[in-house]
């Protein structure tokens, strides 16, 4: 069985790491370069960097900041926010990104997933899906969760897998920042219906939530932000707990 991955997420706004609840009420969480260095040194398996206002502000990802973070880490590094072309990805990979995460741009032009996977390989392409459960149905949202679409989470996830996505990063907007645990029922269904890795995001509040998302949610990786940024959970302690509960991790 493959080792489960622990993935801190740096949500970036105005060059700083921020964290909110249900995608709003953002507060400062520190310097992204310092945080990235700390996570790489303390056992994170991967790192995700999301320029959360790039799409809304209709600009490209902060390339200089990506380069600065990449210089401090020796673990796989995924970058997202404002990516809408092969050229955008080329620039990010040249500046230290290992993978890219696309969200709004993939919904607006699904062919982008095909283009990126054909040019860079599916292992480079993470499709992020922000979805909210409304009247029993998981609805995909865009622009940092501000714009609802007609898309159903599971249908859209299947489509992007067929188009060449290498991983799905699913964030439950209902769970995000609540610290009540991940959306394990939806995660388990994604894992059953798809053949590519699923990264769980939204809701981590304690170590048991990580255990539950790996066991019940069948997630391949778990992403979290505030519990790591504000030292509520230290990654080495988390990995020891996961190992104790029979979950394979890299120590």
- 11 a catalytic residue: yes
Q: Which helix (H) or strand (E) holds 186?
A: helix 184-193
Interatomic CA distance for residues 163 and 25, integer angstroms:
35
Contact 59, 82 (CB under 8 A): yes
DSSP bridge partners of 9? 48
Among 251, 227, 249, residue whose Cα is nearest residue 2: 249
97, 10 in Cβ contact below 8 A? no
Taken as a whole, the chain contains a residue count of: 251
d(C-alpha 202, C-alpha 181), whole Å: 8
Task: Say how far apart CA 210 and CA 52 lie, in whole Å.
Answer: 24
CB 198 within 8 A of CB 166: no
Q: Is 28 a catalytic residue?
A: no
The strand ranges marked E within the chain are 5-13, 16-21, 24-30, 47-51, 77-80, 99-102, 125-134, 137-142, 147-152, 167-172, 198-201, 221-224
Q: Do the strands 99-102 and 77-80 form a parallel or antiparallel pair, or are they unpaired?
A: parallel
Say which of 45, 88, 130, 212 is annotated catalytic: 130
Report how far residue 184's alpha carbon sits from residue 200's, in angstroms, rounded to the nearest whole number: 8
Catalytic one among 11, 45, 88, 220? 11
Task: Tell me which residues are annotated as active site.
Answer: 11, 130
């Amino acid at each position: 069985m493959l080792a489960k991955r622990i993935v801190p997420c740096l949500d970036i706004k105005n060059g700083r790491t921020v964290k909110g609840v249900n995608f709003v009420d953002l507060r400062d969480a520190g310097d992204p370069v310092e945080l990235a260095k700390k996570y790489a040194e303390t056992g994170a398996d991967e790192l995700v960097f999301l320029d959360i206002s790039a799409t809304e502000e209709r600009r490209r990802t902060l390339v200089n900041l990506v380069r600065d973070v990449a210089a401090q880490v020796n673990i796989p590094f995924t970058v997202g926010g404002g990516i809408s072309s092969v050229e955008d990805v080329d620039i990010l990979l040249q500046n230290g990104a290992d993978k890219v995460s696309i969200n709004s741009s993939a919904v607006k032009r699904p062919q982008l997933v095909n283009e990126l996977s054909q040019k860079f390989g599916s292992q480079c392409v993470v499709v992020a899906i922000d979805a909210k459960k409304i009247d029993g149905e998981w609805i995909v949202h865009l622009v940092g969760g501000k714009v609802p679409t007609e898309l159903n989470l599971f249908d859209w996830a299947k489509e992007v897998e067929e188009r060449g996505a290498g991983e799905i990063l699913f964030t439950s907007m209902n769970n995000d920042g609540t610290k009540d645990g991940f959306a394990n029922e939806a995660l388990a269904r994604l894992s059953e219906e798809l053949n590519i890795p699923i990264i769980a995001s939204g809701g981590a509040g304690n170590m048991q939530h990580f255990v539950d998302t790996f066991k019940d949610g069948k997630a391949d990786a778990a992403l979290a932000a505030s519990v790591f940024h504000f030292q509520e959970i230290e990654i080495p302690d988390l990995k020891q707990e996961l190992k104790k509960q029979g979950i394979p991790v890299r120590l």
